[in-house]
Amino acid sequence: MILVAIGANLPGPDGAPALQTCRRAAIALDTMPGLTLKGLSRWYETDPVPPSGQPPYVNGVACLTGSPEPAALLAALQAIENAFGRVRSEPNAARTLDLDIVAIGDMVRAGPDPILPHPRAHLRGFVLAPLLDVAPDWVHPVLNRPAKSLLAALPPQGVRLWACDSGRAT
């Protein structure tokens, strides 16, 4: 099981809203050679972490199957980000698309990139809430704690379920 976090808070290069960009990115994930999209979370509107005054994010998590080499998967995800206008200016900057490998099975990898599991996933409600939609039994392979427990231990982070039919978070 491969878990990929999807997020955006700026319009795409074509002016598409962040939610539409995230949906298109999920489709792009499903077309990657050797991978199959097995599940896609609901979408969430989330406050930036750390707080920065930038617009809220749209976040979700895709669950894929396959046996990718981690560095090759990271390169492929970065190519998708680039196709959607991603500019890497500074850490935690607003972005048109962000694709992060949360985990590849129970693989633990300190480096080179990507570090697995993602080194901050367990601290981010915007990753854990949608992750629970597609992998409710996921256990962090280093901390040996279920995602549900990790999410419950976090302080409030402004994670709201997106009501897709109304176009707003609820």
Catalytic residues: 86, 95, 98, 100
Half-sphere exposure of 123 (CA within 13 A, CB side): 6
Mind giving me the DSSP string for 41-59? Answer: PPPEEE--SS--SPPPEEE
3-class secondary structure, 60: strand
**Alpha helix stretches (DSSP H) within the chain:** 18-30, 70-83, 125-134, 147-152
